[in-house]
Amino acid sequence: MSNAPNFKQELTAVFGMPVAENPTQVMVEAAYRHHGLAWRYLTIEVAPAALADAVRGARAMGFAGFNCTIPHKVAVVAHLDSLGESARLMGAVNCVVRRGTQLVGENTDGKGFLASLRELTDPRGRRVVMFGAGGAARAIGVELALAGAASVTIVNRSEARGRDLAALLTGKAGIKEAPFVPWQGRFAIPADTDVVINATSIGLYPDVDAELEVDFATLSPRMIVADVIPNPPRTRLIRTARERGCRAIDGLGMLVNQGVIGVKHWTGIDADPRVMRAALEEVFGK
Ligand SMILES: NC(=O)c1ccc[n+]([C@@H]2O[C@H](COP(=O)([O-])OP(=O)(O)OC[C@H]3O[C@@H](n4cnc5c(N)ncnc54)[C@H](OP(=O)(O)O)[C@@H]3O)[C@@H](O)[C@H]2O)c1
């Protein structure tokens, strides 16, 4: 083995705008350090008009891959060579992976969520109520369908987005039941529900006291309640669910697990999720 010094680091990144508040660098670089990898994860602001050049730059500089966040998740598809199955179904990419000379688009948001859910239950055959029909809800809904969930009821404020997601799930994603319910007034969770998911942005910092319009008396201890909000992790929904005896999954679980999947795609290693979560908890508090 050569003892020649090597100052060249492997590069990964997130492209977004705004991006300064995105905490992914903290958890991914904690994993790189923990596993002894001389890799970097850069937080890079890329304007929509510069996306094509940014992807060309990443190719030219040999990036191992990069995450895409708002507003690039759909637009980046046009600049890639191929897509993984979930990314193709959703038409959105949050994780780009270099394989040889090709850039492949994956969607790991929903897979990260499912990894958290699987720590508590197998999604196969489960009945799910999901609030929201935006990017996070699409990612989670598609993975639930691919994992064999029996039913995903979509509750959303905007009818068009809700119906669109229901059609995707029962169409290309192949789930039997995905009824859409317009969100009007306090939603009562049906008693046979196994999993309740907040996939809206309600509760996200700084609006931390915002509460879902749900009849919380209908939450029962047999239900698992999950929130996608990573900041703060202990949302009102998570606190209420625990008070009512439900098992709860906070938004850090999804964030950490999609990070673990991204690091695996780029480096091939199985990163320790505890190290990544601890790094985020330092930023967000427990
Ligand atoms: N933990 C993680 O790893 C992770 C990953 C991805 C995203 N997220 C989080 O997921 C959340 C949603 O992100 P997204 O990309 O899906 O956003 P998005 O595409 O903008 O969708 C937002 C969703 O929230 C709903 N919504 C927002 N405010 C509402 C209100 N006051 N009342 C009722 N519904 C409301 C929207 O309903 P309408 O359709 O009616 O507008 C829509 O369904 C964000 O807070 C983000 O931080 C977390």
d(CA 271, CA 6): 23
pLDDT-derived band at 184 (thresholds 50, 70, 90) equals very high
Establish whether residue 165 lines the binding site of ligand 1, counting it when its CB lies within 6 angstroms of any ligand atom: no
pLDDT-derived band at 198 (thresholds 50, 70, 90) equals very high
Using alpha carbons, select from 118, 144, 113 the residue that is nearest to residue 258. Answer: 113
Q: What is the pLDDT of residue 65?
A: 98
Q: What is the mean pLDDT of residues 256-272?
A: 97
Q: Pocket of ligand 1, candidates 93, 154, 157, 161: which has the most ligand atoms within 8 Å of its Cβ, to mutate?
A: 157
Q: Pocket of ligand 1, candidates 68, 111, 157, 201: which has the most ligand atoms within 8 Å of its Cβ, to mutate?
A: 201
Structure tokens at 177: 């039941």
Torsion angle of C-alpha atoms 124, 127, 133, 138, degrees rounded to 10: 0
Q: What is the pLDDT of residue 205?
A: 87
Residue 253 has pLDDT above 90, yes or no: yes
Convert the pLDDT of each residue in 71-103 to its tens digit.
999 999 999 999 999 999 999 999 999 999 999
d(CA 30, CA 12): 14
Q: What is the pLDDT of residue 284?
A: 80
Residue 13 has pLDDT above 70, yes or no: yes
Hey, whose CA ends up nearest to atom 38 of ligand 1?
Answer: 158
Torsion angle of C-alpha atoms 94, 197, 228, 28, degrees rounded to 10: -60
Does an H or E element contain 42, and which?
Answer: strand 39-45
Q: Is 176 a catalytic residue?
A: no
Judge whether 55 and 283 are in contact, CB under 8 Å: no
Q: What is the pLDDT of residue 2?
A: 65
Does an H or E element contain 117, and which?
Answer: helix 109-118
DSSP conformation class of 107: -
Phi, psi of 169 (to 5 degrees): -70, -40
Q: What is the mean pLDDT of residues 166-177?
A: 95
Chain mean pLDDT for the chain: 95
Q: What is the pLDDT of residue 5?
A: 87
DSSP assignment of 158-222? SHHHHHHHHHHHHTTT--SB--EEE--SSBPPPTT--EEEE-SSTT-TT-TT----B-GGG--TT
Helix, strand, coil % in the chain, rounded to nearest 5: 40, 20, 40
Convert the pLDDT of each residue in 18-58 to its tens digit.
999 899 999 999 999 999 999 999 999 999 999 999 999 99
Q: What is the mean pLDDT of residues 241-253?
A: 96
Tell if the pTM clears 0.75, that is, is over it.
Answer: yes
Q: Which residues contact 1 (CB under 8 A, 6 or more apart)?
A: none
Using alpha carbons, select from 152, 141, 158 the residue that is nearest to residue 90. Answer: 141
Judge whether 93 and 80 are in contact, CB under 8 Å: yes
Hey, whose CA ends up nearest to atom 20 of ligand 1?
Answer: 134
Question: Can you state the angle between helices 273-284 and 24-34, rounded to 10 degrees?
Answer: 140
Residue 1 has pLDDT above 70, yes or no: no
